[in-house]
C-alpha cells in the first residue's frame, strides 16, 4: 500500500517482550468510556508482507468517530516464535492486554469489536471464537476477552481450503509454514485455528469479501455458522481490489467504515 496520512497514536503499548508484541493505542476526544476497535493487519501471516501501518488510516478514521483503536503488530512466520503457536498466542495476548490498560485509558471492554484484513481477517475471527478452542490445544487460553462483534475484511474463515490458493495470492505457500504441516498431518491444529471449525462462535460476524476471499466462499462460511446458531452478515465489496477498502475516500472504505459502526451499534 502507498503511504496515507495518518494520525499519530496516543501511546504505544507492549503486550509482550518480543519486538513485534506491540500496538498503537489511539484515543478519541472526550471522557469515555470509549468503545474499542482491535485492528489486526494482514500480510500472508509472513514477516515482511504487512504491517500495522496498513491499518493506520482506518484506525485514525475510527478514532475520529469516537472509537478507541488498538492497532497491533504480532509475530509472523519468519519472526522468532512466529507461526504455530506464537502468532495465535500474540493475537489473543493483544486482545487480553486490553483488560490491563482499560481503566487508565477509559476503555469500555463491553464494546470491543475485532477487525482484521486479509490474513488478519482469519486472525480476527479466531480471536472472536477463542472460547471454543479445545483445552488440549497449544493455543487455548483461560478466560479470553469476549468481543461484541468481529469484522473480517477479505480474508479466509477456514484455513485448510486455502492451502494451494495461498501460493497464488501470496506468491508462495504460507498456510503450511504457519501451521507446521498439511491439514492431514496436523488436523487438531487446523480445527483449533480455523474459525469455520470453531462455529458457533457466539459472536456476531460481519464478513466483507472481495478479491482474495470471494463472495461465494463468504456465503458458504456464513451458511455454516448460521446453521449452528451464529449470526453472520456478508457484504461483498465491489471494485475494491484487496486494499481499496483501507483507503479513506473510496466507496469501499465507506462501506467498511459503515459496517464497523454497525457492529458497534453506532448509527
pLDDT digits (tens, 9 = 90+) for 79-112: 999 999 999 999 999 999 999 999 999 999 999 9
**What pLDDT, in 10s, does the model give residues 41-86?**
999 999 999 999 999 999 999 999 999 999 999 999 999 999 999 9
For domain 11-264, the CATH superfamily is: Alpha/Beta hydrolase fold, catalytic domain (3.40.50.1820)
- What distance in Å separates the CA atoms of residue 125 and residue 102, rounded to the nearest whole number? 22
Long-range contacts of 9-15 (CB under 8 A, 24+ apart): 9/71, 10/105, 11/105, 13/97, 13/101, 15/72, 15/90, 15/93, 15/94, 15/96, 15/97
Q: Whole-structure pTM over 0.95, yes or no?
A: yes
Domain boundaries, the chain: 11-264
- Structure confidence at residue 6 (pLDDT): 79
**What pLDDT, in 10s, does the model give residues 123-132?**
999 999 999 9
Confidence category of residue 1, pLDDT binned at 50, 70, 90 = very low
**What pLDDT, in 10s, does the model give residues 200-259?**
999 999 999 999 999 999 999 999 999 999 999 999 999 999 999 999 999 999 999 999
Amino acid at each position: 500500500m502507498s503511504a496515507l496520512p495518518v494520525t499519530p497514536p496516543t501511546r504505544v503499548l507492549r503486550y509482550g517482550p518480543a519486538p513485534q508484541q506491540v500496538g498503537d493505542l489511539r484515543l478519541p476526544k472526550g471522557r469515555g468510556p470509549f468503545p474499542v476497535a482491535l485492528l489486526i493487519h494482514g500480510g500472508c501471516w509472513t514477516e515482511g508482507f504487512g504491517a500495522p501501518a496498513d491499518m493506520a488510516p482506518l484506525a485514525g478514521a475510527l478514532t475520529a468517530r469516537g472509537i478507541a483503536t488498538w492497532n497491533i503488530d504480532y509475530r509472523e512466520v519468519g519472526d522468532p516464535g512466529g507461526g504455530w503457536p506464537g502468532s495465535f498466542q500474540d493475537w489473543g495476548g493483544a486482545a487480553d492486554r486490553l483488560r490491563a490498560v482499560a481503566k487508565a485509558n477509559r476503555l469500555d471492554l463491553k464494546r470491543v469489536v475485532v477487525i482484521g484484513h486479509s490474513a488478519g481477517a482469519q486472525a480476527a475471527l479466531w480471536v472472536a471464537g477463542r472460547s471454543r478452542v479445545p483445552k488440549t490445544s497449544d493455543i487455548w487460553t483461560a478466560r479470553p476477552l469476549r468481543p461484541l462483534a468481529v469484522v473480517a475484511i477479505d480474508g479466509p474463515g477456514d484455513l485448510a481450503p486455502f492451502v494451494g490458493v495461498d501460493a497464488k495470492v501470496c506468491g508462495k505457500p504460507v498456510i503450511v509454514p504457519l501451521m507446521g504441516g498439511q491439514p492431514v498431518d496436523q488436523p487438531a491444529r487446523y480445527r483449533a485455528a480455523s474459525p469455520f471449525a470453531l462455529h458457533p462462535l457466539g459472536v456476531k460476524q460481519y464478513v466483507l469479501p472481495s478479491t482474495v476471499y470471494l463472495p461465494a466462499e463468504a456465503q458458504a462460511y456464513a451458511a455454516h455458522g448460521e446453521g449452528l446458531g451464529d449470526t453472520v452478515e456478508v457484504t461483498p465489496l465491489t471494485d475494491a481490489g484487496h486494499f481499496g477498502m483501507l483507503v479513506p475516500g473510496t466507496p469501499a472504505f465507506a462501506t467498511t467504515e459503515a459496517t464497523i459502526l454497525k457492529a458497534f451499534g453506532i448509527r
